[in-house]
Amino acid sequence: MSLRLHGDVLVGEGMLDFAVNVWPAARPAWLDHALGDALADTRYPAERSARRAIANRHGRRPEEVLLLNGACEAFWLLAHALRPSVAAVVHPAFTEPEAALRAVGTEIVRVMREHEHWSFDVRDVPADARIVVVGNPNNPTGGVDGSLDHKGLVIVDGSFADFVPFDPEGDVVIRSLTKAWGLAGIRAGYLLGSSSLIELLESQRQPWSVNSVACAALEACARHTFDLAPVAEARGALADDLRGLGLRVWPSVTNFLLVEAPGVVGPLRERGVAVRPCESFPGLDERHVRVAVRTPEENARLVRTLEAVL
């Protein structure tokens, strides 16, 4: 299955969407106000305020922040700017980093997580890998890793970091507003790295790459903290219900669960419920599905439908 398959293409009109990992709570009023004000501004995008706000949040300098047209842009910018001969990607994981590196001719070494706790052995990371990519928290397994010490450039996909009470660490950390704040269509993310790397990446892209609405969202969200409690409560309840159906559910710190449930994707789809099949993630197969955590009412409907399917 293609590395470039993503959950959004699996959701048909009117389907209940458990395939896309976006927290479904209504956006807070302060965020909607920021988006509306940006829409009324007809000037070219200005990134300075957002970069400064993000830098303050993370204890960095503004020149160590790069705003992104969605977090995914970072993987393609890095691949095209650095063009490493060899890179290691820890799997199962979000597949766009590997797809981007393959597109520029990089030799990929897959470092595989074991299937019990989804941990990996750092000794499996090749010493000659110029780049190492790891998700933290990791998609689709839902777990977290400690910091990785490697002489190459350690790139951390922190797209789900809003769901944990710590900031992941790496030479490069990529963040997203999509998952927690419900901004998938706006394409808003950022990258933290050295000023020299930021300068290189900026030299490789067109001007005004990040629109004014995304800049406003990035600045506003940098000044607020996401409330973890509702996600943790809904996730715990859904995991218990799924285990109650006899399914294996791996522990998660994010807004999704990895579940062993062979044969359910098609029957659920026939009943109007979309979940994410996991064959496109290296190291997973048709037994595995990823299930987003949604509202208690929607989660209950998923469980009822699964019960009927099983």
DSSP track, 218-259: HHHHHTS----HHHHHHHHHHHHHHHHTT-EE---SSSEEEE
Query: What is the predicted pLDDT for the residue at 13?
Result: 81
Mean pLDDT (the chain, rounded): 94
Query: What is the predicted pLDDT for the residue at 172?
Result: 98
Superfamily name and number for 7-25+228-309: Aspartate Aminotransferase, domain 1 (3.90.1150.10)
Predicted confidence (pLDDT) per residue in 5-35, tens digit: 675 667 678 789 999 999 998 889 999 999 9
Fold of 29-222: Aspartate Aminotransferase; domain 2 (3.40.640)
Delimit the domains of the chain by residue range: 7-25+228-309, 29-222
- The helix (run of H) or strand (run of E) holding residue 214 is helix 212-222
Predicted confidence (pLDDT) per residue in 75-116, tens digit: 999 999 999 999 999 999 999 999 999 999 999 999 999 999
Q: Which residue is it, tokens 């509702």?
A: 230
Q: Which of 46, 63, 40 is nearest to 207 (CA)?
A: 46
pTM assigned to the model: 0.94
CB atoms within 10 A of CB 263: 12
Query: What is the predicted pLDDT for the residue at 205?
Result: 93
pLDDT of residue 132 exceeding 90, the answer is yes
CA distances from 20 to 8, 178, 288 (A): 6, 10, 15
